[in-house]
Amino acid sequence: MKTVLFYKHGAPDVLKTEERPLSEPGTGEVRIQMKTVALNHLDIWVRQGIPGVPLPMIPGSDGAGVVDKTGEGAHRFKKGDAVIHVPLRVPDDDPLQARDMENLSPDFKIPGEQVPGTFREYMCVPERYLLPKPGTLNWEQAAALPLASLTAYHMLLRKVTINAGETVLIYGASSGVGSAGIQIAKARGARVITTAGSAEKEHLALALGADHVIRYDREPIGKTVKALTRGKGVDVVFEHTGAQTWPESLRSLKKGGAIVTCGATTGYDVRIDLRALFIKHQRIIGSTMGTLGDMHAVCALAEAGKLTPPVGKVFDGLDATAEAHRWLENGRQLGKVVIRVV
């Protein structure tokens, strides 16, 4: 079977496509034939050299496909079922799993980073990490759903609880996590202010349901947020950009509000004035990924037509993986980048 992997960190040309033996599903496992896989910025960082990545590594966290074969003790799916891959792993006996808190486990792993990922023609997966593909999504959208939507859901519904009538500032409307955040917040009845750096990204944000789009190439974020909220600020800042926008995030937050962050794409070294933090009763909350329970909720939103990942670019064949990495790395995407495996 065709498999993408890299033996060393570096530029996209370290990604190789090789023929590997077809694996047999073990006890409790299901073998899926991958139809589509999707890229995340995590794939770029892993390829470039996140510490602790075991080499060689098969990249990719996201994917969707059809059941090809079931192992002993796997009974939830049958051959031909359409499924999506849930991008998390914890040991079977991890006590946090029973509490729907497995992303807090010291043994929590993400496929494509700590364990082999999705960029291959066939993949054996413990059946609990597969869910039925929502019928509302095509194969490209199904591959684009899991990691970004899971992350956004956990931020907005588990780390904070965004409610109807509240206002949230969501950075990066055209990003995977940003586009998911907009739709999840709107499904909760919240008012969404988001950011975009071009007319095309602004149009996408409005199509996703955003109430107001701040063109950060034309107007200051914090000042505009204050004007839109009559000087109060937002209840929640949904943050994944880091250092470059951090001062604007603090400036945009209301008294008693919360910043929830899952990334630092523009840098991780930020400054905080503790006086403002405690005087205004504000919170800064970190978040990584989500739980299997969250993923069930994400799929339910998709099935209800309330969450559809925008797909911006589709490549054909695993041999195009390096090209897809370059496309994402150069900031060309308007929505998710997906590869059709078959």
Total structural domains within the chain? 2
CA distance 205 to 182: 8
Does 255 share its domain with 129? no
Residue 133 lies in a domain: yes
pLDDT band at residue 289 under the 50/70/90 scheme: very high
Check which CATH number belongs to the domain holding 242 and give it. Answer: 3.40.50.720
Report how far apart, in Å, the C-alpha atoms of 39 and of each of 60, 128, 214, 230 are. Answer: 7, 22, 26, 39
- The string of pLDDT tens digits covering residues 36-95 is 999 999 999 999 998 889 999 999 999 999 999 999 999 999 999 999 999 999 999 999
At residue 266, does pLDDT exceed 90?
no
- The string of pLDDT tens digits covering residues 100-119 is 999 999 999 999 999 999 99
Does 85 share its domain with 162? no
pLDDT for residue 267: 87
At residue 32, does pLDDT exceed 80?
yes
Does 135 share its domain with 165? no
Residue 331 lies in a domain: yes
Residue 291 lies in a domain: no
Does 101 share its domain with 190? no
Residue 295 lies in a domain: no
Mean pLDDT on 251-279: 92
Average pLDDT, the chain: 96
Check which CATH number belongs to the domain holding 88 and give it. Answer: 3.90.180.10
Does 92 share its domain with 220? no
Q: For the CA atoms of 323, 326, 330, 333, what is the dihedral angle to 10 degrees?
A: 50
Residue 299 lies in a domain: no
Does 136 share its domain with 177? no
Pairing relationship of beta strands 283-286 and 253-261 according to DSSP bridges: parallel
Does 21 share its domain with 103? yes
Residue 293 lies in a domain: no
At residue 264, does pLDDT exceed 90?
no
Among the residues of 135-197, which ranges form H helices?
Answer: 139-144, 146-153, 176-187
Domain that holds residue 266: 149-286
pLDDT for residue 253: 97
Does 232 share its domain with 325? no
Residues sharing a CB contact under 8 Å with residue 219, sequence separation 6 or more, in sequence order:
none
- The string of pLDDT tens digits covering residues 230-249 is 999 999 999 998 889 999 99
Residue 300 lies in a domain: no
pTM here?
0.96
Q: Give CA angle at 171 (39, 274), nearest 5°.
A: 120
CA distance 240 to 37: 23
Does 128 share its domain with 162? no
Does 40 share its domain with 174? no
Residue 303 lies in a domain: no
Q: At what angle do helices 146-153 and 176-187 cross, to 10 degrees?
A: 50
Does 6 share its domain with 129? yes
**Is there a contact between 58 and 141 (Cβ–Cβ < 8 Å)?**
no
Does 74 share its domain with 134? yes
